[in-house]
Each structure stands twice: as C-alpha cells, then as structure tokens.
Amino acid sequence: MTPPQTKPSTATSRRIHLVIPPLTQNACGNVSTLKSYVYYILANLKNSSISVVFNDHLQDPEKFVRYKALVSRKKYSAADGVCVVVFQGNKGPSLDLLKTLRQKNNPPFVILAGTFAGMFHDRYLKNRLAQVVILQDPETALPRILRTAPEKYGGIPRIAFLKNSKICRTKQRGRHDLDALPFVSPYFRNNGTKPVPILTARGCGFSCAFCDKRLFWGSGTNFRSIPNVLEEIELLYNRYGVRKIQFDDYDFLLKKQRAVTLCNALIKKNLKIRWECATRPDAVDGKLLRLMRLAGCRTIYFGLESGSPQILRALGKPLDIKKAVENIRMAKTHAIRVGIFLIVGAPGETPETLRQTKSVLRRLPMDELFVNPLILLPGSRLFKEFFDKNSPAFDDYFETDKALVYPCDWGLLSKHVSPLARFFEVKPSLTT
C-alpha cells in the first residue's frame, strides 16, 4: 500500500474537490440539514477564493459510481486536496471512496468533514484514510487547513490530525459569528415545490437522549441576528422569487422572544411569504400561534415522539402530554397545518405504552405523521448507553451501510404501527 500523501509544508493547496457520497437506503435524517451543512462549506471556500470542484452525489448514487471510476483513473498532483463529507447516512459509500483514494500511487491530501467523521475521527486517522478530520465548524476550518502548513495545524480550532503517528485534537475557541457566514439558502432555490430551507440558529438547548444535534453544531446554541435573517429572506423573495420557506432550525421557538421579533418584522415587511418550522409541542401558546400565522406560518412540525410518559422519560424528553395535546389542537384552530413526529420501539415500549400513544393521537388533528423506529445515532446519549465502540459489532457498523436500530420487539411494532397509520389515513415513514 502506498503511504498517504503528506501535504507540502509550504501549504500549496489551492484547489479542493468537495465530495458528498450518496445517502444509502437506510439513511435517516433531514436531507436539507445535511445539504445546508455542505453548502456552508462550499460557499465559504468560494468566498475565500479557493478553487473548488463540487461533487454533490448525496441523492445520486449512479453519478457517484461514475465518479469513483474516474477517481481510480485520475492522477492527483501535490496541489490537490479532497474533502469528503461523511454522515451516518453515507458512511458506507464514503468508506469505499476513501479506500480507493488510499490505494492510489500518488494519493491526494484527504480531509474529512461531517458528523460521522468527526465522531470517529480516531479510526479514520489511524487507518490512514485521511490526514485531517474537521470536528466542528467545517466552513471556517477547511479554508484554514488548505492555507496552513501542517506544523501549524495546532492553531486551527476543532480539528484532529496525525502528528508523529499520534492523534492531536485542537480545542474550540469562542463562538462562531453566524452573521459572518455567506447565505446558503439560494443554493436551494430550484427546490421544485418544496420550501427553501433557512437556518437561523445552530444547536439546541435541550438534550433529548436519542438526538445527535450536538454533534452537528456543538453544545449550546448559536443564533443569527434578526436583521441578518431578514436580509436573506428578502434576497430569496426579491431576487429569486421564492414564496415558500422552511425555518430549518431544530427548534424554531427555542428563544420565544426572538421568534416574536422575527414574526413582527415579517408582518411589518408585508412579504407574501409562507413558511413552516419545527418545535416542541410545549413551546407554543395561543398568542404566539396567532402571531406566527399572521407572519406567514402555515405548517408546524411537532416532535411529540410518544404518548407515553414512561417512553418520553426513556427518550430524555419529558413533556406534559396534556399540555402538548392542547397546544397541537390550538395550532389547528389557528389554521396551521400540523405534522407529528413519533418514535416507536424505545426502551420499555410495551403494548400498553403503544396504546397510550394511539389514544393521544386519536385526540390530535394531524395533517402528517412520521413514525420512526428508534435509531441509535452516533453522538446521542442512547448510542453511548447501548453501543460499545470497542465491540466487534462496531467494525460491522463502521464498515457497512447499516444504521443502528434499537433492538425492540418488531412483532409488537408491526402489530401496532400499521393500524395506527391506517386509522389516521396518513402514511408513516417507517425507516428500518
């Protein structure tokens, strides 16, 4: 095997191939969040005047096969860098590509970004599949890596790299100024009939046990300023004719006062724009819903997860179910469409807890229902509790497309989930 390319100490890299391998069939997660993550990297490379070849195969596996064939024939030069973005949903195809790159006679300098790569950076580095792994804030880290000599990597926050065969990790310094980032929503403007996603904040203040959100943007929450968000919305509206947007924040109502300010500003601007958002069912109230509707809100996706207090506790999301039901019903009375997210098969799920969930759903006016089994997402508390990174099963997980579904009673679920979906005449998206 040829040793991996070491970057010249004079930091000559000026051209980068940015590659997103395709999501596999088992992939879970919000595609627009993954795309936003990558578009921020792309936009910041362009802003930094770094020449970039963008290979977006996230939803095009066939194009990726052709690309890989090209990679095995291609000759790389010392100025070539390849940045592969690895999420849980594309870890299998990513690994294939990295192995192909490693086998080349003159392998390029490989940098990894993406939440899965960050979480398991030690494995990628030890196996010489990459020279640097970005742990967080990839859009600011990547241009710096490309312009910094390896002996000075220690000055770049939140990356990992090999130094004398030892893994070095640098620390986070300060918070990211989100207003300084370029607008990426215009990349989505040809979204067909789908709304264009806009991220107004990164992170989430809650810590539900099944959620991997901290892995994406770190702990805590980082907000864009309202004028900065409005400027992006007006750009979409005036220049690209966009009339439908989706606030892609994990929880749009994390800071209620901020949401109120944004809604008032949208009303004042009188833009004929319609939007949707996601939040917890305990976050809304009548006054807020009225304001949101006036400001253009037409759909709210609620992360209800379960109708059983016991399951909600197991998921680390203790909600007042009575209040949640009241609030969701209230959204409908304000002429806002309602989508509900459910998780089934969590630890402790029984026929009784599923019955409780069904009984709650019967009281809810829903337009969409998404029923998912519990996926153990890397970076989540449940992943740590139920999966041993040092077990032989981990190799299988790392090397293949598999997602980790919590080992629940599938017989029980199939008995309850389908009738549940039929009852409400909505199609559940059951990812297995």
Residues that bind ligand SF4 (CB under 6 A): 204, 206-208, 211, 213, 250-251, 280, 303, 317
Nearer to ligand SF4, 170 or 222 (CB): 222
Nearer to ligand SF4, 52 or 253 (CB): 253
- Asked if 160 and 117 touch (Cβ cutoff 8 Å), the reply is no
CB of 209 to ligand SF4, least distance (A): 9
CB of 381 to ligand SF4, least distance (A): 10
- Asked if 423 and 358 touch (Cβ cutoff 8 Å), the reply is yes
Nearer to ligand SF4, 318 or 407 (CB): 318
Give the C-alpha separation, 385 to 335, whole Å: 41
Other CB atoms closer than 10 Å to residue 398's CB: what's the count?
A: 17
Give the C-alpha separation, 403 to 95, whole Å: 15
Backbone angles phi, psi at 298, to 5 degrees: -120, -20
Report the candidate in 367, 240, 359 with the shortest Cα–Cα distance to residue 299.
367
CB of 315 to ligand SF4, least distance (A): 8
Report the candidate in 279, 431, 422 with the shortest Cα–Cα distance to residue 343.
431
CB of 248 to ligand SF4, least distance (A): 11
Nearer to ligand SF4, 232 or 251 (CB): 251
Nearer to ligand SF4, 208 or 292 (CB): 208
Residue 62: partners with Cβ closer than 8 Å, 6 or more residues away: none
Nearer to ligand SF4, 95 or 382 (CB): 382
Nearer to ligand SF4, 30 or 238 (CB): 30
- Asked if 424 and 361 touch (Cβ cutoff 8 Å), the reply is yes
CB of 110 to ligand SF4, least distance (A): 31
- Name residue 153's amino acid: Y
CB of 281 to ligand SF4, least distance (A): 11
CB of 252 to ligand SF4, least distance (A): 11
Report the candidate in 140, 143, 146 with the shortest Cα–Cα distance to residue 158.
140
DSSP labels, 373-404: E-B--TTSHHHHHH--TTSHHHHHHHHSS---
